[in-house]
């Protein structure tokens, strides 16, 4: 659920591997770390579908307030589900030193799914219990709440599963060796270009991504520009991929 996510300070909690190096700057940010243009197009399509679903529910019922609420609720539910797919965010935590940038990132959506599943199991379980008092045959309906509860428990206790679904990642950026600085101010994104060489002798160049808060963007950019005065600098759009960025063709 993109709209139910815990807020906390993660900088001090990260197991930094180079905490012996004095930090020049540390920050955390929540960002849509992917190509948002495509995601926004998909959202527009899903928005039209949600309107169609809401109108269909309204049309198939007798006109009235209840029909309107059912239609709005159904369309809104479809819209929220679509936004959970097209508007997912990642939490990214940075630690900038004179030698490198350490980066931890993960998708926090699973952190909100677990409590939602837990309370869904509890509330639906109480509902089934009330029905059982009325008619014992409803005991078969308890399979649903029990199944949801078991899934929530397994999700909460399995660290390997949580790590997988959260897409947890750690990497370092040796920013003093950057070959090029590219800045996309619209997304407060700084790209540091590096060239990677394969065993067969081929090579490719991509940009490591550094997302900044708008209020700290100029400060972070000044650090790179001052300490890399001879490195080429450019401004413009970057094409964002899951693990790197590139220049538009």
Structure confidence at residue 162 (pLDDT): 47
Structure confidence at residue 175 (pLDDT): 96
Same domain, 95 and 121: no
Structure confidence at residue 1 (pLDDT): 42
Same domain, 100 and 209: yes
Same domain, 29 and 41: no
From 163, 10, 177, 180, select the one nearest 95 (Cα to Cα): 10
Cα–Cα distance for residue pair 233/179, rounded to 1 Å:
9
Question: What stretches of 15-159 adopt beta strand conformation (E)?
Answer: 25-31, 90-96, 101-106
Same domain, 148 and 206: no
Same domain, 133 and 148: yes
- Could you tell me the CATH number of the domain that includes residue 14? 2.30.29
Structure confidence at residue 211 (pLDDT): 97
Candidate from 166-175, 185-194, 230-239 with smallest mean pLDDT? 166-175
Same domain, 55 and 147: no
The domain containing residue 132 runs over which residues? 109-165
Number of domains in the chain: 3
Confidence of residue 25 (pLDDT cuts 50, 70, 90): very high
Same domain, 211 and 140: no
Same domain, 99 and 147: no
Cα–Cα distance for residue pair 213/236, rounded to 1 Å:
18
- The β-bridge relationship of strands 189-197 and 203-211 is antiparallel
Same domain, 103 and 114: no
Last residue of a domain, one of 165, 192, 213: 165
Same domain, 102 and 211: yes
Candidate from 74-88, 110-124, 222-236 with smallest mean pLDDT? 110-124
pTM over 0.75: no
């Amino acid at each position: 659920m993109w709209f139910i996510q815990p807020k906390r300070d993660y900088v001090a909690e990260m197991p930094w591997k180079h905490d012996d190096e004095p930090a020049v700057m540390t920050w955390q940010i929540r960002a849509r770390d992917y190509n948002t243009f495509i995601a926004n197009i998909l959202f527009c399509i899903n928005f039209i579908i949600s309107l169609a679903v809401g109108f269909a529910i309204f049309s198939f019922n007798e006109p009235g307030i209840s029909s309107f609420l059912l239609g709005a609720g159904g369309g809104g539910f479809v819209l929220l589900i679509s936004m959970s797919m097209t508007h997912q965010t990642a939490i990214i935590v940075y630690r900038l030193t004179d030698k490198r940038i350490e980066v931890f990132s993960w998708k926090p959506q699973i952190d909100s799914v677990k409590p939602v599943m837990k309370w869904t199991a509890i509330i639906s379980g109480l509902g089934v219990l009330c029905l059982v008092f009325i008619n014992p045959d409803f005991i078969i309906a308890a399979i649903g709440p029990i199944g949801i509860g078991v899934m929530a428990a397994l999700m909460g206790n399995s660290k390997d599963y949580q790590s997988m679904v959260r897409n947890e990642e750690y990497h370092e950026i040796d920013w003093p060796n950057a070959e090029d600085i590219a800045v996309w101010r619209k997304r407060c994104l700084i790209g540091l270009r590096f060239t990677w060489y394969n065993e067969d002798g081929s090579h490719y160049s991509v940009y490591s991504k550094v997302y900044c808060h708008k209020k700290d963007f100029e400060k972070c950019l000044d650090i790179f520009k001052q300490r890399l005065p001879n490195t080429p600098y450019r401004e413009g759009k970057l094409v964002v991929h899951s693990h790197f960025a590139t220049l538009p063709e």
